[in-house]
Amino acid sequence: MRPSTIAARPTRRSVLLATAAVGATIATARPGTAGPSHATTQGPNQTSPKGGVNLAGADFGTIPGVHGTEYLYPGPRDVDYFGDLGFGLIRLPFKWERLQPRLGAPFAPAEERLLTDVARYATGRRIEVVLDPHNYAKRRIAEDGWSREHQIGSAAVPSDAFADFWSRLARLFAADDDVLFGLMNEPVGLSSDAWLGIANAAIGAIRRTGATNRILVPGVAYTGAHSWLTANNTVMEGVIDPLDRFAFDVHQYFDADSSGTRPDAVSGTIGSERIEAFQAWARAHGFKAYLGEFNGGRNPAGYNALHDLCQEMSANPDIWLGWAAWAGGPRWPETEMFNLGPWKDGRIREQTAILARYARPQSSNAWVTEGAAVDLDFARGRVFGVPSLEAALALGAEAQESGPRSVSDLADRKGIRIGGPAGPLSATPGEALLGLMGGEGFTLLIETRELPSTPSAVDLLRTGTQPLLRRAPSGAAEFLSGELLRTASQPLARWQSKRRVGLTIDRVQQRAGLGVTGQSPVEGRAEMPDAARVAFSLGAQASSGGYLVRIVAFPRFIERADMAALVA
């Protein structure tokens, strides 16, 4: 979030730089010196990220301020509310100036107690705590009457002072592995090279205390995931942690400039789109990450974007260790667009209800069977190619209105059973069934990427006996020409590029039997009965590094011009 104004009782997230005088429906669209090796391998039963919230309040108000007036630490009631909903992590923003009023000096006892009381209470409930000095790589000092901010690394606030601060804080929590050290909130105003040196000095100071806690390292330019590469945060490949126990802390909002200052989401898939480049960079280098801030406004696009982003992180557990949405806490106004606390009448807020669905880490069955099948991402309507089929996609009015649908677990490790509005479906490994439901048509977008080389050509995706997607020995994957998918006797409309093929049908009609009537889908319209099914046979086992095939299934007909752009 990019701060702009200050208020004693905040009305928007912009107050979080409070030191100047003091965002459920289904989505409808999609170096420094080298440190230790960070290589990771995705494997069996990998868990989804641990979900949490920021509990703001201790970072509000004037500096130094009075607790209970200008600022307020969250209490047991705040922790319990989110803990009872299943959130397993809280990010705890506070101000460096209040905890350590004078650089290099011991912590203020009263402030230290306020901080440790919250952290100890949360970890006593087995809730992880991310300590977050919410200072933007700046702080005020008593010597000039707290009148202005000084950048870390300046003469007034040297980097050694920041390292000293973290060495003291690390000693307080070194015995508690459920406490994570978030080095700094959203550094801004300094270069990535300068910040890397400051961060490495702080990490070294932490490790010299004997603390083994995980350290969360942000980048510069507000540590935006969307701008990670363009802001030169790739320099952060040079992070040096003697224990190699760190992760990158990135933030991502859904409004036009990613600042989190407006409730409007650009689209229902903007979150996953904006983290895509960072995610690819992290995977290429074997890095882990936390998403330290995000949210969507109280509107359909915001809800869709929340589903989309949470599902994207859940689908990539080799990257994402956890996330904390913005924000709960005791001082938010009732009308604050990102307030995650309960409404005054006790009702759960819309965003909180969505987030709670993804908060508990779930063990993934993505690698339990041999042969390749598909795993579904309901929020995005996407099917990720992994060697296990866990669910089938039912696209209907209920799914569109209520958002992602829960499905039955694997009945056993030899096959799958899926419950849906059309009744149970079943398949064996190597075959995937998509139940295509609903009245407004559907679109399938199938894509692939470069794959590991193989001794011979392999059919990755077949429709009936016809290959749709083939991997060459070189590892290149290509869509095959010709009539690739038919419903009864008619093909679906089809668009194709080098890596993607799009298939659409305009209307799904509720009637018994399996057949197609109406105009040719090549002309953009066809009709299909309810519960028509298209079966794909998938060949070859997915490598542990990523997907072989991704099938995007949208619960609506996508117009010709939009489809052309989608497959480009």
Tell me the CB-side half-sphere exposure of residue 520, using CA atoms within 13 A. 4
Q: Which residues are catalytic?
A: 186, 293
Residue-by-residue DSSP string for 411-438 = SSSS-EEE--TT--EEE-TTEEEEEE--
Give me the sign of the Cα torsion angle 167, 169, 172, 177.
Answer: negative
Nearest Cα to 254, choosing from 555, 1, 562, 566? 1
Helices 159-173 and 109-124: crossing angle in degrees, nearest 10, is 50
Which residue shows structure tokens 């749709």?
468
User: Taking a C-beta distance cutoff of 8 angstroms, is the pair 176, 115 a contact?
Assistant: no
Q: How many CB atoms lie within 10 A of CB 51?
A: 26
Strand partners of residue 417: 426
Helices 159-173 and 192-208: crossing angle in degrees, nearest 10, is 40
- 52-80 burial, b for 16+ CB within 10 Å, e for fewer? bbbbbbbbbbbbbbebeebbbbbbeebbe
If DSSP codes are grouped into helix, strand and coil, which group holds residue 76? helix
* Backbone angles phi and psi of 385, in degrees to 5: -75, 110
User: Taking a C-beta distance cutoff of 8 angstroms, is the pair 410, 390 a contact?
Assistant: yes
Q: What single-letter DSSP state applies at residue 556?
A: S
Token digits of residue 486: 């038919």
Token digits of residue 446: 């199938």
Token digits of residue 296: 């969507």
How far apart CA 374 and CA 388 sit, in angstroms, is 6
If DSSP codes are grouped into helix, strand and coil, which group holds residue 171? helix
Token digits of residue 342: 């309960």
Token digits of residue 238: 């040079």
User: Taking a C-beta distance cutoff of 8 angstroms, is the pair 307, 271 a contact?
Assistant: no
Helices 350-359 and 300-314: crossing angle in degrees, nearest 10, is 10
Nearest Cα to 478, choosing from 503, 454, 496? 496
Residue 328: Cβ-neighbour burial (10 angstroms; 0-12, 13-18, 19+): buried
Residue-by-residue DSSP string for 457-504 = -EEEEEETTEEEEEE-TTS-EEEPPS---EETTEEPEEEE-SSEEEEE
